[in-house]
C-alpha cells in the first residue's frame, strides 16, 4: 500500500525516522512512518490513502512534545516548514498554515501594519500547535484572534470551521474528533509597523533574559495554576538544579527542564513526575504538565 502511494505523492515518506531529530528536547525513539507533505493538497491525498485505523501524530516544531524512547507506532505527519504559506486575506485578516512558526506570523503581521499578534513571537512553536493548545505568552492567547480555522480529517477532506465549534480554555482546545488544524484565519487591528516591531523586539529580549534559550527544552513544562505560577512553586520547593541523569530543572527558569546533553526521554519524564510530586508534597498544589507525552517506553 505504502509503495503504491509513494508513486503518486509529492511529499517525502521515511520509515523508522528518529524523533530525536524533530523535537526541541532532542530525544525520542523512531516513528514507524514519517511523512513530510509537499502542501495541503498532497497531505489530503496521503491521508486518503491510509488505512482507516492508522494511528496519526502531528508534529510542528516539536517544542511542546516529549516522545518516549520506544518511539511512535503509526504515522507522524510533519508540518513545520512545509505547510508554510502565510497571506493577507482581507483588511485585518491573515491566513497562516499550520507549519508557519509563530514568530514568523508575528513579524508578518507587523509588516502588514497589523497589531495584536506580537505575543506570538514568544511562542517557540508553529500555528498548528498554537491552535491545538491555545498557546499564549506575555498576556496574549492564540484563540483571542481566531476568526476561522481550516481542518482536515483522516480521509483527506478539508473543512472550514468557526470558533464557536470549539471549546477553548487555558492551554486546552476541544474540537471535532478526527480533524486536525491545517490553517488559521486571524483577525487583527490596524496599527503601526515600527511600534509592533519594537514590541516584538522587547518581548524577545524579555524571553531571552528569563528563559534558558539555546538549550534543549520544551518551553514551559507545567501549566500555571490559577492565581499562581508553576515556576514560583517549583523554585520555592527547592527544585532548581535538580537532575535525573542528563535532565535538569533549569537554574534560570524553574518551569523549564533542559537536556544537558545526553538525557533520555525516560529521564525527562521521571524528572517531570518528581517535580510534580515534590510540589504537591510541599505546596499542596497539583501541577499539570502542558507538554504532550507520547509514544512507547523503551
- Is 20 labeled as catalytic in the residue annotation? no
CB 260 within 8 A of CB 248: yes
Q: Exactly one of 97, 179, 267, 290 is catalytic; name it.
A: 290
Choose, from 161, 171, 187, 223, the residue flagged as catalytic: 171
202 touches 213 (CB < 8 A): no
CA distance 88 to 96: 9
Asked about 206 being catalytic, the answer comes back as no
Nearest to 170 by CA among 147, 130, 145, 141: 141
Respond yes or no: is residue 172 known to be catalytic: no
From the candidates 220, 237, 267, 269, give the one annotated as an active-site residue.
220
Q: For residue 66, what is the enclosing H or E element? A: strand 65-67
Active centre residues (catalytic)? 171, 220, 290
Amino acid at each position: 500500500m505504502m509503495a503504491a502511494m509513494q508513486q503518486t505523492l509529492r511529499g517525502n515518506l521515511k520509515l523508522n525516522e528518529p524523533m530525536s531529530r524533530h523535537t526541541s528536547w532532542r530525544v525520542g525513539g523512531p516513528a514507524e512512518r514519517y511523512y513530510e507533505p509537499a502542501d495541503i493538497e498532497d497531505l489530503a491525498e496521503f491521508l486518503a490513502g491510509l488505512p482507516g485505523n492508522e494511528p496519526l501524530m502531528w508534529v510542528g516544531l516539536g517544542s511542546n512534545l516529549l516522545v518516549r524512547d520506544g518511539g511512535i507506532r503509526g504515522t507522524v505527519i510533519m508540518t513545520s516548514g512545509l505547510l508554510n504559506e502565510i497571506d493577507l486575506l482581507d483588511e485585518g485578516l491573515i491566513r497562516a498554515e499550520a507549519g508557519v512558526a509563530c514568530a514568523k506570523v508575528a513579524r508578518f503581521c507587523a509588516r502588514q501594519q497589523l497589531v495584536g499578534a506580537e505575543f506570538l513571537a514568544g511562542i517557540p512553536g508553529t500555528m498548528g500547535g498554537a491552535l491545538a493548545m491555545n498557546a499564549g505568552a506575555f498576556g496574549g492567547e492564540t484563540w483571542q484572534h481566531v476568526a476561522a480555522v481550516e481542518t482536515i480529517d483522516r480521509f483527506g477532506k478539508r473543512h472550514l470551521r468557526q470558533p464557536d465549534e470549539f471549546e477553548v480554555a487555558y492551554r486546552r482546545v476541544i474540537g471535532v474528533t478526527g480533524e486536525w488544524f491545517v490553517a488559521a484565519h486571524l483577525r487583527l487591528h490596524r496599527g503601526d509597523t515600527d511600534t509592533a516591531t519594537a514590541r516584538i523586539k522587547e518581548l524577545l529580549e524579555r524571553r531571552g533574559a528569563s528563559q534558558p534559550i539555546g538549550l534543549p527544552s520544551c518551553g514551559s513544562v507545567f501549566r500555571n495554576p490559577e492565581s499562581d505560577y508553576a515556576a514560583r512553586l517549583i523554585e520555592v520547593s527547592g527544585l532548581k538544579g535538580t537532575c535525573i541523569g542528563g535532565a535538569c530543572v533549569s537554574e534560570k527558569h524553574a518551569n523549564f527542564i533542559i537536556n544537558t546533553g545526553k538525557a533520555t526521554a525516560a529521564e525527562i519524564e521521571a524528572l517531570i513526575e518528581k517535580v510534580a510530586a515534590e510540589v504537591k508534597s510541599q505546596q499542596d498544589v497539583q501541577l499539570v504538565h502542558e507538554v504532550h507525552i507520547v509514544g512507547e517506553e523503551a
